[in-house]
Amino acid sequence: MRPGPFEDDAEPLAQRIHAALAKLGVALKSADADRQGEEDARGLESELLTLMRLCPAAGLRLSDAALALGVHLAAASDAMLRLVSDHFARKATAEDALETTFILTDAGRAEAERRVDLSDALLASADALPPIEQELLYRTLLRIIRSMQERGVIPVAKLCVSCQHFRPHVHAGSDRPHHCTLVGAPLSDRHIRVDCPEHQPADRDHQQKAWDKLLAGGGR
């Protein structure tokens, strides 16, 4: 039998826990004092470097960067232009400003690696947890992200659960009870993504029903 797209998942659950915690970190920073002055500007550049380090080789769109970091497009653009000026990033496409894609240069990747000590420590700590505890933590983080999104205090994430292709608990008795209609494959809680590049937002009613069924464990 040919393995499905989730059979050999390249992204460990610890990496997804890290991404979920990063989402919450963005919300906490956004709720703090407004981003002004040189210190805040440099902080945003550092966040951009970290975000780009985790991005696919194709790069990061400016609009996606602003959304992920919870800042206005103008702030993300200013920070990105400073990275370009410092030779840490460069344009990968020549599209309109909103859709322009940027990638790290070799110097930028080296600088990003230099700044990730705490990030890597968090990732290593999550990876050291037993698998069952990783899954419990990740599921809890997804619930927190969902709750904060409903309150409007966290940027909208491209969660599987809010996607029109996600079907929770349709494979009864399986260790992969959910289904992605886009790739036509079953998946488990650990495969649920925080930022899926193929995410297609479902309408509000569909999202609510998906969350209710997911959190109820398939009982609805």
* Within-domain flag for 2: no
* Within-domain flag for 123: no
| Residue 4 confidence (pLDDT) | 58
Q: Which residues contact 32 (CB under 8 A, 6 or more apart)?
A: none
Residue-wise pLDDT tens digits, 25-84: 665 555 544 444 444 556 788 888 888 887 767 788 888 888 888 788 888 899 999 999
Give the chain's domain count.
2
Residue-wise pLDDT tens digits, 149-192: 788 777 666 889 999 999 999 998 898 999 999 999 999 988 89
Q: Which residues contact 65 (CB under 8 A, 6 or more apart)?
A: 48, 51, 52, 76, 80, 102
Task: Assign residue 70 a region (left: φ > 0; alpha: ψ between -120 and 50; beta: otherwise).
Answer: left
Distances from the Cα of 155 to the Cα of 128, 172, 214, angstroms? 29, 33, 21
| Residue 144 confidence (pLDDT) | 84
Of the residues 64, 88, 118, which one is the last residue of a structural domain? 118
Of the residues 86, 118, 150, which one is the last residue of a structural domain? 118
On whether both 72 and 94 belong to a single domain, the answer is yes
On whether both 18 and 60 belong to a single domain, the answer is yes
Q: Which helix (H) or strand (E) holds 170?
A: none
On whether both 108 and 199 belong to a single domain, the answer is no
On whether both 112 and 23 belong to a single domain, the answer is yes
Query: Which pTM value belongs to this model?
Result: 0.57
* Within-domain flag for 125: no
Q: For all residues of the chain together, what is the average pLDDT? A: 80
Higher pLDDT, 24 or 210: 210
* Within-domain flag for 1: no
Of the residues 85, 118, 151, which one is the last residue of a structural domain? 118
Provide the 10 A C-beta neighbour count for residue 20.
25
Burial 148-177 (b: 16+ CB within 10 A, else e): bbeeeebbebbbbbbbebbbbbeeeeeebb
| Residue 171 confidence (pLDDT) | 94
On whether both 81 and 19 belong to a single domain, the answer is yes
On whether both 88 and 20 belong to a single domain, the answer is yes
119 pLDDT tier (thresholds 50, 70, 90): low
The CATH number of the domain holding residue 47 is 1.10.10.10
* Within-domain flag for 5: no
Lowest-confidence pick of 87-91, 108-112, 127-131, 154-158: 154-158
| Residue 151 confidence (pLDDT) | 81
On whether both 18 and 110 belong to a single domain, the answer is yes
On whether both 109 and 136 belong to a single domain, the answer is no
197 pLDDT tier (thresholds 50, 70, 90): confident
Of the candidates 106, 92, 25, 108, the residue with the CA atom closest to the CA atom of residue 60: 92
* Within-domain flag for 3: no
On whether both 135 and 113 belong to a single domain, the answer is no
Question: Which two structure tokens, joined as six digits, stand for 69?
Answer: 């970091």
Burial 183-220 (b: 16+ CB within 10 A, else e): eebbbbbbbbbbbbeebeebeeeebeebbebbeeeeee
| Structural domain for 138, as ranges | 130-215
* Within-domain flag for 42: yes
* Within-domain flag for 92: yes
| Residue 185 confidence (pLDDT) | 92
